[in-house]
Amino acid sequence: MTKKYDAIIIGAGVIGCPIGYELAKMGYKTLNVDKLSDAGEGSTAASCAIVRAHYSTVDGVAMAYEGFKYWLEWENYLGNVQDEKGLAKYMNTGSLLIKSQGHDWQKVKNNYDVVGVQYEEWDVAKIKEMVPVYDMHEFWPVKRPEDPDFFKEPERMLEGALFCPEGGYMSDPALSAHNIMRAAEARGAEFIFQAEVAAVRSENNRVLGITLKDGTQIDAPVVVNVGGPHSHKINQMAEGVYEGCNIKTKALRHEVMHCPSPEGYDYLNDGYHTSDGDIGCYYRPEAGNMFLIGSEDPDCDPQEWVDPDLFYAGKESSYRRNNQLTAEQWQAQTYRCARRVPDMAIPNQPRGVCDLYDCSDDWIPIYDKSSMQGFYMAIGSSGNQYKNAPVAGAMMAELIDKCEKGLDHDKEPLQYTLPHIGRQIDVGFFSRNREINYNSSFSVNG
Amino acid sequence: MFSTFRDFVMKVVLKPTRQVMDLKIYVCVKHVPDTAATIRVGTDGRIDEDITFIMNPYDENAVEEAVRLKKQVGEADVVAVTLGNDTAEATLRSAMAMGADRAILVRSAGRPDGITTAGALCAAIRRDGPADLVFTGRESIDAEGFQTMFRLGACLDMPVASNVVAFALEKGMVRVTCEMEAGDREDLELPMPCVVGAGKDLNQPAYPKLPDILRARKKPVTVVDQDQLQVPPSTSRVEMVRLETTAEERHPKPLEGSADKIADAIVRILRDEAKVLE
């Protein structure tokens, strides 16, 4: 017998779960389906889970600043639900945005002023006082270690940084998704796992439901694609949807490194999340007193766009395209970080995580309906939407509900009021039909 | 400043002198697949080498101990040696970044067995030496032959201590503690020169900082082709006949019932099926 729901959400990651949660709060009978074995086990588990406010657009900053309020009041957001696995914790380290040629930090500062983000301007002396392990020379432009100029002695000092006291990371991104799932279930939401979607059924351009790989058919008038790195494949299952998007998504391979903190420096407790465009890296504390070092995709680094199924199966054409860390990128990211932190000792064996971004053409997400009635998308997170997950959940739920009740979102885009900071954002900003937004940083910075 | 005359005598007249020796220390290292790599067998029956390679982890302990010894004795030449193709130079650079002074790459094609490896390393060390001490890792994590250091010792006519977890050089004698099966330990005394196979618990390797890595890029690597060493061919060899990846299949069996019943079932399985209990 075919099961029937009010809404099916494809994906139970950190964005799929809050969409199910918020729709369930509105009274929808929801089902999240996921091909893996539990919530948050996909690309969410590999997320650096950084919470920071700096974005290259005002709406980006506004969403991120709104998001803080959810992470800060995590138990309240979850409706004080119990989770047998425990609760993820928000670690507020504060956030440094290094003033560098690699970031349009003046634009970020203006955006902060528009939105009302609290920040301070720190000069080099202040940074050295607060983070004595940092060498504040300028190393720009970003280079690879193979470049003969990589080890050139720097000549100039940086100007300083913007410091946000509000910023940090979530201790366990997979657990955070699991927490939201439990909260959603407390509101009547359902979840099924090891359930891979094989087809999106429709008739007369209206979604009917999904078919799983095992042949199970599940009906719903609303289907939401939150498939992460598989988002483009799911869009291709829904007739005309992929072709109807001006902005496309595809999977980008990314490596994140874990390197021990210098001896004697308690980075875990004393360190700051740092966005360091001068060296093309961002870093934050990781368990074991490690530096977690991510890349900001500098121009000198090759980009590997991959097939997610081949990538996760380790069957891409080269190991540089599979889910294994490479020596070259290990050296690139740790050596760059070691320019900023000269006392960092670098192990021979790469350690860290290799996973995928679901990347849009302009690194800005798509939170939108589609050309198929009833089919919606929360995709293209591009490595920068973990922090916005609870906001995205609430915003998508409102978008879906309004559209199902007659809103023509393409003609009159939903204006969504961020409940904590009171600011209104134009959800049309995230439209699948937009032209490429050249205000974007075209990077994980968003 | 001296607080008393006795203090002066102890600190100046009778101050302990540091043992200063000019040692030639060789460290044999191997370029191996990363333990985290997904190993696949290619159509040629060999492992697909399109993966990340690193220094054999046990060799890191060997390099570390050699470098510490150099700091202790004051004057020493620490030489990293490997047998491999040109990509193995990366492991030699890692050893030099950790403190080795220079390196020797014995260039060879293919994946030689432990017999050939020991013969080539022996010839390279003899050609460069003589050696006062040779460190190796206790085994390589790819072949796990656990025999190269013994063959090397035989070739160099040196005694060998394996799986060493404590090392000291005192008055020209090497004193080691070796970890045996089932956690037993054995203390040995070896005259120099000797071969020491480093175990994991011997030390905590100190990894290099960026200036060390930069310096290592400029340290000399002597490259010698294996043929140039004219190693006498061995009468025996180890040939790999077939290589297969093991398919891991897990068949979990739920144990049901009260806590007592489940505990009894676990004990029975461990004793009668897994045979890890008597």
Query: What average pLDDT does chain B have?
Result: 89
Chain B: give the shortest CA distance to residue A192, in Å.
21
A218's CB contacts (< 8 A; 6+ apart) are A2, A3, A4, A5, A8, A31, A33, A209, A210, A211, A212
Q: Give B57's contacts in chain A (Cβ within 8 Å).
A: 349
Q: Give B47's contacts in chain A (Cβ within 8 Å).
A: none
B251's CB contacts (< 8 A; 6+ apart) are none
Q: What is the pTM of this model?
A: 0.90
Q: How confident is the model at residue B14 (pLDDT cuts 50, 70, 90)?
A: very low
In chain B, % of residues over pLDDT 70: 92
pLDDT of residue B13: 47
Chain A: give the shortest CA distance to residue B16, in Å.
30
pLDDT of residue B3: 54
Q: How confident is the model at residue B10 (pLDDT cuts 50, 70, 90)?
A: very low
Q: What mean pLDDT comes out for the span A371-377?
A: 98
Which of A151, A325, A348 is the closest to B55 by Cβ? A348
**Quick one: A90-168+252-354 is in which CATH superfamily?**
D-Amino Acid Oxidase, subunit A, domain 2 (3.30.9.10)
Q: What mean pLDDT comes out for the span A91-100?
A: 97
What dihedral angle (degrees, nearest 10) is formed by the CA atoms of A37, A38, A44, A47?
-90
Q: How confident is the model at residue A356 (pLDDT cuts 50, 70, 90)?
A: very high
Please tell me the distance from the alpha carbon of residue B276 to that of residue B278, in angstroms, as a whole number.
7
Domain parsing of chain A, residue ranges: 3-86+172-248+362-430, 90-168+252-354
pLDDT tens for residues A173-188? 999 999 999 999 999 9
Q: How confident is the model at residue B243 (pLDDT cuts 50, 70, 90)?
A: confident
Please tell me the distance from the alpha carbon of residue A26 to that of residue A281, in angstroms, as a whole number.
41
Of the candidate ranges A389-403, B7-21, B192-206, the one whose mean pLDDT is the lowest: B7-21
DSSP string of A16-83?
A: HHHHHHHHHHTT--EEEE-SSSSTT-SGGGG---EE----SSHHHHHHHHHHHHHHHTHHHHTTT---
Q: What mean pLDDT comes out for the span B121-139?
A: 96
Chain A positions touching chain B (beta carbons under 8 Å)? 151, 260, 314, 318-319, 322, 324-327, 330, 335, 338-339, 342-350
Q: Could you tell me the CA-to-CA distances from A235 to A100, A197, A240, A394 in Å, in that order?
A: 38, 11, 8, 22
Res. A54: pLDDT tops 70 = yes
Chain B: give the shortest CA distance to residue A265, in Å.
15
Which of B52, B54, B209 is the closest to A345 by Cβ? B209
Nearest CA in chain A to B35: A349
Query: What average pLDDT does chain A have?
Result: 96
Chain B: give the shortest CA distance to residue A13, in Å.
26
Phi, psi of A244 (to 5 degrees): -80, 0
pLDDT of residue B2: 53
The domain made up of B22-229 has a fold known as Rossmann fold (3.40.50)
The interface residues of chain B toward chain A in range 194-213, judged by CB-CB distance below 8 A, are 206-211, 213
Do B207 and A345 count as a contact with CB atoms less than 8 A apart? yes
For testing the chain B interface, which of A149, A348, A351 should be mutated: the one with the most B CBs within 10 Å?
A: A348
Q: What mean pLDDT comes out for the span A33-56?
A: 95
CATH number of the domain located at residue range(s) A3-86+172-248+362-430 in this protein: 3.50.50.60
Do B213 and A335 count as a contact with CB atoms less than 8 A apart? yes
pLDDT of residue B17: 41
Tell whether omega for the bond before A260 is within 30 degrees of 0, i.e. cis: no
Of A326, A368, A311, the C-alpha closest to A43 is A311
Do A347 and B207 count as a contact with CB atoms less than 8 A apart? yes
Please tell me the distance from the alpha carbon of residue A277 to that of residue A297, in angstroms, as a whole number.
10
pLDDT tens for residues B35-84? 888 888 888 888 888 889 999 999 999 999 999 999 999 889 999 999 99
Nearest CA in chain B to A345: B209
Which of B54, B57, B209 is the closest to A338 by Cβ? B209
Q: Give A345's contacts in chain B (Cβ within 8 Å).
A: 206-209
DSSP A373: B
Residue A92 in tokens: 């507020």
Of A62, A17, A69, A15, the C-alpha closest to A426 is A62
Q: What mean pLDDT comes out for the span A269-289?
A: 97
Q: Give A137's contacts in chain B (Cβ within 8 Å).
A: none
Which of A318, A324, A338 is the closest to B37 by Cβ? A324
Do A327 and B38 count as a contact with CB atoms less than 8 A apart? no
Do A350 and B34 count as a contact with CB atoms less than 8 A apart? yes
Say which residue the tokens 């099924």 belong to: A192
Say which residue the tokens 């068949």 belong to: B251
Give the containing element (helix H, strand E) for B58: helix B57-73
A180's CB contacts (< 8 A; 6+ apart) are A14, A17, A18, A21, A39, A78, A389, A390, A393
- Parallel, antiparallel, or unpaired: how do β-strands A249-260 and A352-360 relate? antiparallel
Using DSSP, state whether B264 is helix, strand or coil.
helix
